[in-house]
Structure 1
Amino acid sequence: MESVRLGIIGIGNMGTAHSLHIHADRKVPGMVLSAVCDISEERLAWANEHLPGVAVFDQASDMYQSGLIDAVLIAVPHYDHPALATLAFANGLHVLVEKPAGVYTKQVLEMNAAAEEAGKVFGIMYNQRTNPVYQKVRELIQSGELGSLKRVVWIITNWYRPQAYHDSGSWRSTWKGEGGGTLINQNPHNLDLLQWMLGMPSRIRSFCSFGKYYDIEVEDDVTAYLEYPNGASGVYITSTGEAPGTNRLEISGDMGRIVVENNRISFDRNRISERKHNHINTEPFKAPESWYVEIPVSGDGGEQHIGILKNFTNAILHGEKLLAPGEEGVYGLLISNAIHYSTWTDSWAVLDSFDHDHFHELLQERINNSTVQKNVSQKVSDVRGSH
């Protein structure tokens, strides 16, 4: 195979951007856009006009069976990701799925099983993993430079979205349309980065507010308390209702404290481990000697979506290791589902023994009672894939 022939399902905001990066701008060496698919006649007309030479389909199965593509990028509303991916695997295609992997873990675990059976390259568009800042933080933690984890606090409230945003599509901010609010729409990248850098928490106790700031039925304000296997604790705070918002990540370990804010990393580094200091120190108020260090980071935000597309292409053509394997999409989603579950059941959510079926039942109850927004000025297909 000299190049990867890609098909894109969903040519809303994200699908359109991907198609132009690949077809018009030629930013992904080794990848060619061969086909696109959408249920909207308007978007298909756009494709015919702006993507010359690219085949256009209105049914995913027809595109899958056309013989025109080797891989598919799925950029449709969240609920449809697993079903379309599973069908693609059944047709012998490689798959790259937009985040989140799905809405509930039960369907994503089934998708992962299909991927394993198919043996095809399976990636997820976790483009924030290309950001040198988060790559460096992950390196500092996994190398042991920070020592044993003690606490993490991530305040990520710069996701402000006004009522006009929630009203911009009938699928938005409803259990039936999205399956959640800020956790499933704005926060999948952050939840993925949290586990990618630190590993998975063992249990979560959370407090979500639903429609606190807006006329919506899903969560718009979240505070979650996390516990890790080594006894470390964490707090994760997010909201779409604060302006101006904050994006500050603070990670404490035996060797000091890392702070990430404004795309910069600072490290208050202990000269010796706090645990060692505590063992040998005899002075009542003496803390370990600490040095303030600004951690240099090369690059400016990374290649983002283009980087994931390049990596996916090279994985197919040359066996390059995936930066964001599709199977890992379930981890951030499990944290998201656990936060919902803890609030709904007013109890701890234990991740190792998470009740995927019960969560799905509780979600289905909310879907069955879900409302559909009225007086929407944009068609659903026009706003697909925007976050």
Structure 2
Amino acid sequence: MGAVYHEQSESGEVDAVVTTVPHYLHPEMGIEALKRDIHALLEKPAGVYSKQVKELNEFAASKPDLTFAIMFNQRTNSLYQKVKEIVDNGEIGDLRRANWIITSWWRPQSYYDQSAWRATWGEEGGGVLVNQAPHQIDLMQWICGMPKKVYSNVKYGYQRDIAVEDEVTALFDYGDGATGSFITCTHDPIGTDRFELFGDKGKIIVDNSKKVTIKRLVKSEQEMSDNMTMMEVYNLVQGGDTDEMYTEEAIEFESNWQEQHPNVMRNFAANILVGEELLAPGAEGINGVTVANSIHLSSWLEKEVELPIDEDLFLEELNKKIEAEKAAN
């Protein structure tokens, strides 16, 4: 594949590439394309480990006239664009907590058995954190920002005959008192997709990536705490009328799943042709990779890790997994 790729990229007939190749090759092929003044759209994830993605970003920065994007197609979902807008404009105030349960990535054993590269450290670079969940990891950091510390409990080959992770629970510390949790797996056929964000002025609840409910407090939580009488508190906790406490707005969005990938492609082309702003700039791909790396590293070291993580230590631990996998086979 390498020889064919280099031959094609040096033909002078290629204007842009999309890297639909194994994860480890995403940064390498991105750099090779940019070297030849070819625009690059990388599939997610941007890479397996942040050190190689950092090299890609540094090289891309030296080619500012080229378009460098990443296939975070769910950023085109108007629901998540709306959620980001509400958070960014301060409607729910300062973020205190964010929780995402995304266990609707069910995959049977046959899914993993169909290709030898799937669910391997050496070929895929991990499990649900690098294959399915990068979508939600990206959206969570896009909306909430990057955590400062991560602690995780990860199960490897928990319910599937694989070496990599199929069950993940991660706790995020955003450094300003705000916390987050991220739960995902590939063994729950019923599955849940629920994203909650709570701020001092309200709450956002997203169900199944289709419906968003916004509850806006009439007074901030701190004002309520400072001024409510115990009688008012008692009435509230006993199921009293909440109409005077918050307003509620529910918005349902039609699924645009089939349009998401084409929309990223159109946006990529429009940026090349007319300078349209990118929905998912390639340089932002490192954020999700860093979060996934921190979740893995925390579980391997069995302790909380700070971001940015020790990239050399992560790569050292990853290589141990790869060598153990080779020895087992």
Same fold (TM over 0.5): yes
Q: Deviations over 1:38-91 (max 9, x none)?
A: x4xxxxxxxxxxxxxxxxx96111111101111111110100011111111111
* CA distance in structure 2 between the aligned counterparts of 1:222 and 1:259, rounded to whole angstroms: 21
- The 3-state SS of whatever aligns with 2:230 is coil
Deviation (angstroms), 1:283 = 3.0
Change (3 A) 1:232 1:284: farther
| Structure 1 spans left out of the alignment, 5+ residues | 1-38, 40-56, 375-387
Q: Which of 269, 277, 281 is matched with 2:224 structurally?
A: 277
Q: Which of 64, 69, 81 is matched with 2:9 structurally?
A: 64
Counterpart of 1:121 in structure 2 is 67
Asked whether 1:365 is paired with 2:315, we answer: no
Check conservation: 2:170, 2:183, Cα contact below 8 A: yes
Tell me the amino acid that sits aligned with residue 305 of structure 1: H
Tell me the amino acid that sits aligned with residue 180 of structure 1: G
* CA distance in structure 2 between the aligned counterparts of 1:90 and 1:370, rounded to whole angstroms: 34
Structure 1 stretches (4+) deviating beyond 2 angstroms? 279-288, 295-303, 371-374
Check conservation: 1:132, 1:301, Cα contact below 8 A: no
Deviation (angstroms), 1:303 = 3.2
Q: Which of 224, 237, 246 is matched with 2:183 structurally?
A: 237
Tell me the amino acid that sits aligned with residue 309 of structure 2: F
Asked whether 1:328 is paired with 2:284, we answer: yes
Q: Deviations over 1:123-182 (max 9, x none)?
A: 000000000111111011001011111111111001111111111111011111111001
> Scaled by the length of structure 2, what TM-score is found?
0.92
| Structure 2 spans left out of the alignment, 5+ residues | 237-243
Change (3 A) 1:346 1:257: same
* CA distance in structure 2 between the aligned counterparts of 1:243 and 1:305, rounded to whole angstroms: 25
Q: Which of 68, 89, 98 is matched with 1:152 structurally?
A: 98
Check conservation: 1:170, 1:372, Cα contact below 8 A: no
Number of residue-to-residue matches in the alignment? 318
Asked whether 1:303 is paired with 2:259, we answer: yes
* CA distance in structure 2 between the aligned counterparts of 1:266 and 1:314, rounded to whole angstroms: 33
Tell me the amino acid that sits aligned with residue 162 of structure 1: P
Tell me the amino acid that sits aligned with residue 60 of structure 1: Y
* CA distance in structure 2 between the aligned counterparts of 1:255 and 1:190, rounded to whole angstroms: 24
* CA distance in structure 2 between the aligned counterparts of 1:300 and 1:136, rounded to whole angstroms: 14
1:10-49 superposed matches below 5 A: 39=1
Check conservation: 1:174, 1:372, Cα contact below 8 A: no
- The 3-state SS of whatever aligns with 1:190 is helix
* CA distance in structure 1 between the aligned counterparts of 2:223 and 2:202, rounded to whole angstroms: 13
Asked whether 1:80 is paired with 2:25, we answer: yes
Check conservation: 1:173, 1:217, Cα contact below 8 A: yes
Q: Deviations over 1:160-211 (max 9, x none)?
A: 1111111111101111111100100111111000001111111110000000
| Identical counterparts, % of pairs | 43
Tell me the amino acid that sits aligned with residue 127 of structure 1: N
- The 3-state SS of whatever aligns with 1:118 is coil
Q: Which of 80, 87, 91 is matched with 1:134 structurally?
A: 80
- The 3-state SS of whatever aligns with 1:159 is coil
Asked whether 1:109 is paired with 2:65, we answer: no
* CA distance in structure 2 between the aligned counterparts of 1:74 and 1:92, rounded to whole angstroms: 15
> Scaled by the length of structure 1, what TM-score is found?
0.79
Change (3 A) 1:294 1:301: farther
Q: Deviations over 1:309-362 (max 9, x none)?
A: 1111111111111110000000011110000000001111111x3101110111
Counterpart of 2:250 in structure 1 is 294
* CA distance in structure 2 between the aligned counterparts of 1:145 and 1:131, rounded to whole angstroms: 20
* CA distance in structure 2 between the aligned counterparts of 1:218 and 1:297, rounded to whole angstroms: 34
Tell me the amino acid that sits aligned with residue 283 of structure 1: M
RMSD (Å), alpha carbons = 1.9
Change (3 A) 1:209 1:296: closer
Tell me the amino acid that sits aligned with residue 62 of structure 1: E
Counterpart of 2:194 in structure 1 is 248
Counterpart of 1:222 in structure 2 is 168
Counterpart of 1:89 in structure 2 is 34
Check conservation: 1:170, 1:373, Cα contact below 8 A: no
